[in-house]
Amino acid sequence: MPYGSGLSAQLGLKTESTVGTEIVVDKFYEFLPPESIAYVPTYTDSAGLRAGQAFKRGSRTAITAHDVNGDWTLEHADRGIIATGGGMGLIWKHALGSPITVPTLIASGAYKQIHVPGPRTGLSQTIQVGRPQTDGVVKAHTYRGVKYTGWEFTCNDGELATLKLSVDGWQEATATALAVAAFPSAAQIFGFADASNFKLGGTATTSAGETTVASGVAVATVVTGLTITAQTPLAAGRRGLGNAGVKREQIENGIPVISGKLAGEYTSQSEFYSLIKSGASTVMQIDFTHGDAGGSNPFLLSFILPAVKFKEGGPQVGGPDIVGQDINFEAYDDSSGTNPVIQVKLVSTDQQL
């Protein structure tokens, strides 16, 4: 008998073959509470006047639109299930609109994935959340036509790396059967101590679809926290006659923004503050590594942003302690014609997304 509490909750997903057509989920993730994915109906009340009637009447209100939105968060794992995927690659594909379909074998069971921003048209998920009742029955709430409108990666001193995802979907079903969850047995989580490489500057180049950085300089400042945030505007209200108040595919309709924040000490004016003052762009690379995915290739989560501008974050004296800086940045197209605004590279044992 399952627990009659959140201890029996589950979350699974799968890429839809056709946007908005529900599919049986088969990739499952350990998620952090609270999740807030919810069906949100629009009720519209009649404004008509009726002699002697003061209050709204139930017979004169109707659901005129259906919507799904909310957030869910997970710790950033280093792998999924070897044969069937279900690792972080599938999440990054949908978060960025990445065109990658199959990981590339690099050596002895280690596979790499290169994720860069791309169009979201035709790319959606079914997400199913299993929510336990107090009687131990886990009820399936299944959401179709789900796209990610934004994400936030965070890793702070002494903490694990997390990824928060904001969703927009079409409709909820409560009659779909609860899928049987299966989780990778060997997966580990990236944490602050795994940040093995943090560099600024150098030259970013892209060859064969992969961006690398030459001559970057290790950051001297003690940086205690990193946040990278992305927002992708979507036309999320495309409802039309004949579609029963359910939206059609959400289409990108605005300029996406990738930004972030670094928290740290005021170590050297010439490192971050000079870039704020000059307005110059620089390359930023942050790599998280641990273990061995195969052939002496560590499990890897790597971010490369070829053109970052540090926009604000002057040092402020708050007392006798070390002077700190909270530095805000934004990622831009570097106009090279080849480098992406952001690249997320994974190395793992995942043979599929």
DSSP assignment of 252-274 equals: E-S--EEEEEEEEE---IIIIIH
Would you state the pLDDT for residue 230?
98
- Once rounded to an integer, what is the mean pLDDT over residues 38-42? 97
The contacts of residue 348 (CB under 8 Å, 6+ apart) are: 78, 79, 80, 87, 88, 89, 103, 110, 111, 113, 293, 299, 300
The contacts of residue 76 (CB under 8 Å, 6+ apart) are: 88, 153, 160, 161, 162, 163, 189, 190, 288, 301
The secondary element (H helix, E strand) that includes residue 95 is: helix 88-96
Q: Which ranges constitute the DSSP H helices of 197-332?
A: 274-278
CA 131/CA 11 separation, integer angstroms: 9
Please choose, from the candidates 230, 228, 255, the residue with its C-alpha nearest in 3D space to the C-alpha of residue 328: 228
Cα dihedral sign, 3-81-155-100: negative
CA 128/CA 125 separation, integer angstroms: 10
Would you state the pLDDT for residue 82?
78
Q: List the structure tokens of 125.
A: 């998920």
The secondary element (H helix, E strand) that includes residue 89 is: helix 88-96
Residue with tokens 């926290």: 225
Please choose, from the candidates 27, 30, 36, 37, the residue with its C-alpha nearest in 3D space to the C-alpha of residue 7: 30
- Once rounded to an integer, what is the mean pLDDT over residues 42-51? 96
Would you state the pLDDT for residue 215?
98
CA 150/CA 172 separation, integer angstroms: 20
- What confidence tens digit (pLDDT) does each residue in 130-170 have? 999 999 999 999 999 999 999 999 999 999 999 999 999 99
- What confidence tens digit (pLDDT) does each residue in 233-253 have? 999 999 999 999 999 999 999
CA 344/CA 309 separation, integer angstroms: 19
1 pLDDT more than 80: no
pLDDT band for position 312 (50/70/90)?
A: very high
Averaged pLDDT score across all residues of the chain: 96
Would you state the pLDDT for residue 335?
86
Report CA-CA distances (Å) from 75 to 84, 87, 171: 20, 11, 27
Cα dihedral sign, 115-119-124-130: positive
Would you state the pLDDT for residue 88?
97
Q: List the structure tokens of 325.
A: 């800086």
The secondary element (H helix, E strand) that includes residue 88 is: helix 88-96
Q: What percent of the chain has pLDDT over 90?
A: 95
Please choose, from the candidates 76, 71, 74, 223, the residue with its C-alpha nearest in 3D space to the C-alpha of residue 156: 223
CA 11/CA 331 separation, integer angstroms: 31
Q: What percent of the chain has pLDDT over 70?
A: 100
Would you state the pLDDT for residue 81?
87
CA 258/CA 309 separation, integer angstroms: 11
- Are the C-beta atoms of residues 87 and 93 closer than 8 Å to each other? no
The contacts of residue 191 (CB under 8 Å, 6+ apart) are: 155, 159, 160, 161
